[in-house]
Amino acid sequence: MKQKERVHLNGGEMLFRVAAALSFLLCIATLGAMAADLVVSGGGRIGWQFLTGVSSRLPDRAGVLPALAGTVWVTGVAMIVALPLGVGAAVYLEELCRRGRLSRILEIFISNLAGVPAILFGMVGLQIFVRWCGLGRTVIAGALTMALVVLPLIILVSREAIRAVPRDIREASLALGASKMQTIWYQVIPAALPGILTGAILGVCRIIGEAAPLLALGALTYLTKTPTGLNSPFTTLPIQIFNWISRPQIGFHRNAAAAIIVLLFLLFLLNVTAIIIRARSQSSR
Amino acid sequence: MGEVVTVTGLNLWYGERQALHSISLAATEGEVLALIGPSGCGKSTFLRTLNRMNDLIPSVRIEGSVVVLGEDIYRNGMELAELRRRVGLVFQRSNPFPKSIYENVAYGPKIHGEKRRVELDEIVEQSLRRADLWDEVKDRLGASALRLSGGQQQRLCIARALAVRPKILLMDEPASALDPRSTAKIEELIAVLRGEYTILIVTHNMQQAGRVSDRTAFFCDGALIESGVTSDIFTNPQKKETQDYITGRFG
């Protein structure tokens, strides 16, 4: 029968443990307080009317539908653009271009881009997509701008996922007579897919909460219609939240809290999906 | 029975370092040729020259003639896909794809253009039977290949290589990572496959070379010291280095 050993702690270790525990509790308490405040302020507003209503001057009539739809449109189109481009770039960098100074410099460059404040992409988007391309302040301009924001992240994560595919899988494929492209398409990318998908979800989480670049772009803050296509004007949840908070009426602040709950719920769903994808890919190995 | 592999004066460099020194060796159709020698002596490097898998290493340079199945495989315009189809390779550590057993074996034929389901089913069954794995997996072809045991995975890799109907099979220490029972199965397999296939097998295990091969070639420090009928090499070696290696004085 094994006896539990009592670890003898000296003063320093005790202090460290207490400090660590206190820090943890502080974080939990802060998050808990924020969550509680949110639920208290906005919980009551959540309901069918709120989720399907449009903008209004009266807080109790205002709803989140255009913003929700706008978020889905912009994020969806951004990912449709960014994913193939990002995975393709990652494949090129990892598999097709020669290792060397150029490859290393590109890697540093892209890592840095992933950390650039999103507002800068907003300004780039404004100049290039809205003005030069003449797209106007529409869903497509917003989506392309957000695609730029998320592209470095997708490239980075996809590169990691591709690198993690063991070398002997590639060798086995080539030894059977497959070409490099066949190996990449039929073996490397499928094997890297769980990692790439997780990266995609991380990317979505990143852009779903971004307000700055879209504000720079000129997303509207008062919309009575949901977007009907790529050429529609749009707004997104974070922008709507920002707008409502800026109004003096308490009713709008409640709306903002409710909208935040909706946004957090979306993020929660996305994260759960990512965890499920991860778990299923581990179990099949 | 003609020569299916004729290597003449093969020199190979990894960058500045010369790994193979003027190797001349031939393999006749249907035989099992064992390549033995101490670690790092170039046996695997030589093996991989025969299906140009060494090309994957960027600093590699080759001189000399390598004629496989009647073709100079290092000439300009040699079709690598076809070469590697005709000359299969089984690796030291089994490396099944993270896919189902069926998909593993069907991959080779698929990338060479076979699309018909009926044909593929046939090829998968035949290859698994040849590799002595069919009975063990026939009810779970859709299961992940990674769930198989080490010995089964290696036999799966052999089935995978056989599925593209090669003429020559290169085996790089195929049983070195396996337990004695699985090793015995692999050796039985080689005995069954010889004749129909020409097999070149690199092995560290001299008893194994003695058991499975018709002829043996002894490599040392990147050079071919001696080659001949297996029983002759082991009972009456011509060169001192061969004698020393076989009696365990080094390596």
Q: Which of B89, B91, B111 sits opposite A178 (nearest CB)?
A: B111
Its ipTM equals: 0.92
Query: Residue A282 — very low, low, confident or very high, per pLDDT cuts 50/70/90?
Result: low
A37 assigned to some structural domain = no
Chain B residues whose beta carbon lies within 8 Å of the beta carbon of residue A164 = none
If one compares A232 and A98, the residue with the highest pLDDT of the two is: A232
Domain boundaries, chain B: 3-246
Chain A residues whose beta carbon lies within 8 Å of the beta carbon of residue B98 = 169, 191, 284-285
Give me the mean pLDDT over the A32-46 stretch.
85
Share above pLDDT 90 across residues of chain B, in percent, rounded to a whole number: 71
Q: Which of A58-62, A130-134, B190-194, B246-250 has the highest mean pLDDT?
A: B190-194
- Give the closest residue to A176 by CA, choosing from B140, B105, B3, B67: B105
Please tell me the class of the B3-246 domain: alpha beta
Query: Residue B13 — very low, low, confident or very high, per pLDDT cuts 50/70/90?
Result: very high
Best residue in A98, A176, A193 for a mutation probing chain B (most B CBs within 10 Å): A176
Query: Do residue A175 and residue B88 have CB atoms under 8 angstroms apart?
Result: yes
Residue A45 reports pLDDT greater than 90: no
Range of the domain at A85: 51-283
CA distance B235 to chain A (A): 36
DSSP class per residue in A92-159: IIIIISPPSHHHHHHHHHHHHHHTS-HHHHHHHHIIIIIIIS---SSHHHHHHHHHHHHHHHHHHHHH
Looking at every residue in chain B, the average pLDDT score rounds to 91
A248 assigned to some structural domain = yes
Scanning every residue of chain A, which has its alpha carbon at the shortest distance from the alpha carbon of B108?
A176
Determine how many CB atoms are found less than 10 A away from the CB of residue A116: 13
CA distance B219 to chain A (A): 24
Q: What is the pLDDT of residues A112-125, one digit of tens each?
A: 988 888 889 888 88
- Phi/psi of residue B100, each to 5°? -75, 165
A257 assigned to some structural domain = yes
Query: Residue A212 — very low, low, confident or very high, per pLDDT cuts 50/70/90?
Result: confident
Q: Which of B58, B82, B91 sits opposite A177 (nearest CB)?
A: B82
Residue B220 reports pLDDT greater than 70: yes
A101 assigned to some structural domain = yes
CA distance B228 to B26: 10
Q: Which tokens go with A138?
A: 């529409």
Give me the mean pLDDT over the A12-21 stretch.
92
CA distance B118 to A282: 32
Determine how many CB atoms are found less than 10 A away from the CB of residue B70: 9
Q: B67: which strand partners?
A: B6, B72
Residue A1 reports pLDDT greater than 60: no
A108 assigned to some structural domain = yes
Q: Which tokens go with A240?
A: 């709507």
**Virtual CA dihedral for B202, B204, B208, B212, nearest 10 degrees?**
10
A12 assigned to some structural domain = no
Chain A residues whose beta carbon lies within 8 Å of the beta carbon of residue B144 = 284-285
- Parallel/antiparallel/unpaired status of strands B71-72 and B87-90: unpaired
Q: How many CB pairs under 8 A join A and B?
A: 66
Residue A193 near chain B (CB below 8 Å): no
Q: For chain B, what is the radius of gyration of the CA atoms?
A: 18
**CA triple A72-A78-A84, angle to 5 deg:** 130
Please, which contacts does B114-123 make with residues 24 or more away whose CB atoms are closer than 8 Å? B123/B163
B148: burial class by Cβ within 10 Å (0-12, 13-18, 19+)? buried
Q: B25: which strand partners?
A: B7
Query: Do residue A177 and residue B107 have CB atoms under 8 angstroms apart?
Result: no
**CA triple B11-B13-B19, angle to 5 deg:** 75
Q: Which pLDDT value is given to residue A52? A: 82
Residue A4 reports pLDDT greater than 60: no
CA distance B172 to A124: 55
Strand order across the beta sheet in which B17-28 lies: B17-28, B3-14, B60-68, B71-72
Contact, A228 vs A104, CB < 8 A? no
CA distance A204 to chain B (A): 28
Q: Which pLDDT value is given to residue A6? A: 58
Residue B157 reports pLDDT greater than 90: yes
Q: What is the pLDDT of residues A124-180, one digit of tens each?
A: 888 888 888 888 788 888 899 999 999 999 999 999 999 999 999 999 999 999 999
Residue B167 near chain A (CB below 8 Å): no
Residue B49 reports pLDDT greater than 60: yes
Q: What is the pLDDT of residues A82-136, one digit of tens each?
A: 999 999 999 998 887 777 788 788 888 888 988 888 889 888 888 888 888 888 7
CA distance A174 to A169: 9
Residue B99 near chain A (CB below 8 Å): yes
Query: Do residue A171 and residue B80 have CB atoms under 8 angstroms apart?
Result: no
The pTM score is: 0.82
A43 assigned to some structural domain = no
Query: Do residue A171 and residue B88 have CB atoms under 8 angstroms apart?
Result: no
Q: Domains in chain A: how many in total?
A: 1
If one compares B102 and A48, the residue with the highest pLDDT of the two is: B102
Query: Residue A3 — very low, low, confident or very high, per pLDDT cuts 50/70/90?
Result: low
Determine how many CB atoms are found less than 10 A away from the CB of residue A189: 19
Name, in order, each residue with C-beta under 8 angstroms of A102's C-beta and a sequence gap of 6 or more.
none
Q: What's at B35, amino acid-wise? A: L
Q: Which tokens go with B188?
A: 């039985």
CA distance A177 to A145: 42
Give me the mean pLDDT over the A77-86 stretch.
93
Chain B residues whose beta carbon lies within 8 Å of the beta carbon of residue A187 = 97
What is the domain-level CATH number for residue A117? Answer: 1.10.3720.10
Name, in order, each residue with C-beta under 8 angstroms of B59's C-beta and a sequence gap of 6 or more.
B13, B14, B15
A17 assigned to some structural domain = no
Query: Residue B1 — very low, low, confident or very high, per pLDDT cuts 50/70/90?
Result: low
The sign of the dihedral angle between the CA atoms of B211, B215, B219, B225 is positive
Residue B168 reports pLDDT greater than 90: yes
Residue showing tokens 């780039």: A124
Residue B162 near chain A (CB below 8 Å): no
Among the residue ranges A39-53, A199-213, B90-104, the one predicted with the least confidence is: A39-53
Q: Which pLDDT value is given to residue B170? A: 95
